[in-house]
Structure 1
Amino acid sequence: MEPTVAIRDLDLRKIAVLREMTESDVHFQNVSDKELRKWISENPEVVEHKDFRYEYNFLSQRLIIKCMPTPTHDTLQYFFTQTVFGTIVEKVGLLKAQELVTTGAGTSFTGFEGDLCGSTEKLPDAFVQLEGSDFPVVVCEAGWAEKLDDLKTDAKLWLLNTGGQTKMVIVTSFTETYTKSETNPTSETNPTSETNPTSETDPTSETDPSSEVSKGATGTGGGQVGKRAGERALIKSINESTKLRDLANQLLDLNKHEELGKPLIRKLQASLYVYCANEDHKDITKVFSTELLPPPPANSKAPPLFQITMKEIFGKDVPEGMKSTDPITFSLPVLRKIIEKSLPGTAKYRATRRAKKLLQEKGVLGECETFAQRKRRRMDGA
Structure 2
Amino acid sequence: MILSCTSLSSLLINPQRIHSFASDKILQVVMPSQLHECAAEWVHDMIVQARMEGIIPQGWRGTMRIRHSPTYKNFVGEYRGRWKEADLTIIPLVGPDRVKKAKFPSVILESGWTETLAKLKDDARHWQVGSGQEVRVVLLVKFYQPNRQKRIRLDLFINRTRPGGQSHGIERYASFFCILYTTDFFTNVSVASVAYLSYP
> Does TM, normalized by the shorter one, top 0.5?
yes
- Alignment counterpart, residue 114 of structure 1, candidates 64, 69, 77: 77
Match of 1:268 in 2: 152
1:346-368 deviations in Å (ceiling 9; x for gaps): x346478xxxxxxxxxxxxxxxx
Which whole-Å CA distance do the structure 1 matches of 2:105 and 2:187 have between them?
36
- SS of the residue corresponding to residue 36 of structure 2 reads coil
Summarize the Cα distance change of 1:88–1:157 in structure 2 as closer, same or farther, 3 Å threshold: farther
Match of 2:31 in 1: 67
1:249-298 deviations in Å (ceiling 9; x for gaps): xxxxxxxxxxxxxxxx96522111111237874555023432212xxxxx
Which whole-Å CA distance do the structure 1 matches of 2:135 and 2:156 have between them?
18
Which whole-Å CA distance do the structure 1 matches of 2:122 and 2:77 have between them?
14
Match of 2:116 in 1: 147
Which whole-Å CA distance do the structure 2 matches of 1:59 and 1:277 have between them?
26
Consecutive unaligned residues of structure 1, counting only runs of 5 or more, are 1-49, 180-264, 294-338, 353-382
Match of 1:82 in 2: 45
Which whole-Å CA distance do the structure 2 matches of 1:57 and 1:283 have between them?
23
Q: Are the equivalent residues in 1 in contact too, given 2:134–2:163 (CA < 8 A)?
A: no
Match of 1:285 in 2: 169
Which whole-Å CA distance do the structure 2 matches of 1:278 and 1:92 have between them?
23
**Counterpart residue type for residue 128 of structure 2:** L
Which whole-Å CA distance do the structure 2 matches of 1:140 and 1:130 have between them?
15
Residue pairs, 1:57-206, within 5 angstroms? 57=21, 63-70=27-34, 72-88=35-51, 90=54, 91-93=56-58, 96-115=59-78, 118=81, 120-131=82-93, 132-176=101-145
- SS of the residue corresponding to residue 103 of structure 2 reads coil
Summarize the Cα distance change of 1:79–1:114 in structure 2 as closer, same or farther, 3 Å threshold: same
Which whole-Å CA distance do the structure 2 matches of 1:97 and 1:280 have between them?
25
Which whole-Å CA distance do the structure 2 matches of 1:177 and 1:60 have between them?
34
Which whole-Å CA distance do the structure 2 matches of 1:81 and 1:139 have between them?
12
Root mean square deviation of aligned Cα: 3.3
Match of 1:183 in 2: none
Q: Are the equivalent residues in 2 in contact too, given 1:58–1:115 (CA < 8 A)?
A: no
Q: Return the structure number with greater helix share.
A: 1
Summarize the Cα distance change of 1:126–1:287 in structure 2 as closer, same or farther, 3 Å threshold: same
Consecutive unaligned residues of structure 2, counting only runs of 5 or more, are 1-13, 94-100, 189-200
| C-alpha displacement of 1:154 | 0.4
Summarize the Cα distance change of 1:291–1:110 in structure 2 as closer, same or farther, 3 Å threshold: same
Q: Are the equivalent residues in 2 in contact too, given 1:160–1:277 (CA < 8 A)?
A: no
**Counterpart residue type for residue 129 of structure 1:** I
Q: Are the equivalent residues in 2 in contact too, given 1:126–1:140 (CA < 8 A)?
A: yes
Which whole-Å CA distance do the structure 2 matches of 1:74 and 1:351 have between them?
12
1:13-42 deviations in Å (ceiling 9; x for gaps): xxxxxxxxxxxxxxxxxxxxxxxxxxxxxx
Summarize the Cα distance change of 1:58–1:109 in structure 2 as closer, same or farther, 3 Å threshold: same
- SS of the residue corresponding to residue 72 of structure 2 reads coil
**Counterpart residue type for residue 54 of structure 1:** I
Match of 1:55 in 2: 19
Larger Cα Rg: Structure 1 or Structure 2? 1
Aligned length: 166
**Counterpart residue type for residue 83 of structure 1:** M
| C-alpha displacement of 1:77 | 0.6
Which whole-Å CA distance do the structure 1 matches of 2:173 and 2:26 have between them?
25
Q: Return the structure number with greater strand share.
A: 2
Which whole-Å CA distance do the structure 1 matches of 2:131 and 2:187 have between them?
41
Which whole-Å CA distance do the structure 1 matches of 2:187 and 2:85 have between them?
28
Which whole-Å CA distance do the structure 1 matches of 2:24 and 2:158 have between them?
20
Which whole-Å CA distance do the structure 1 matches of 2:156 and 2:24 have between them?
22
Q: Are the equivalent residues in 2 in contact too, given 1:57–1:154 (CA < 8 A)?
A: no
Q: Are the equivalent residues in 1 in contact too, given 2:133–2:162 (CA < 8 A)?
A: no
Q: More relative contact order in 1 or in 2 (CA 8 Å, sep 6+)?
A: 2
Which whole-Å CA distance do the structure 2 matches of 1:344 and 1:101 have between them?
34
What TM-score, normalized to structure 2?
0.67
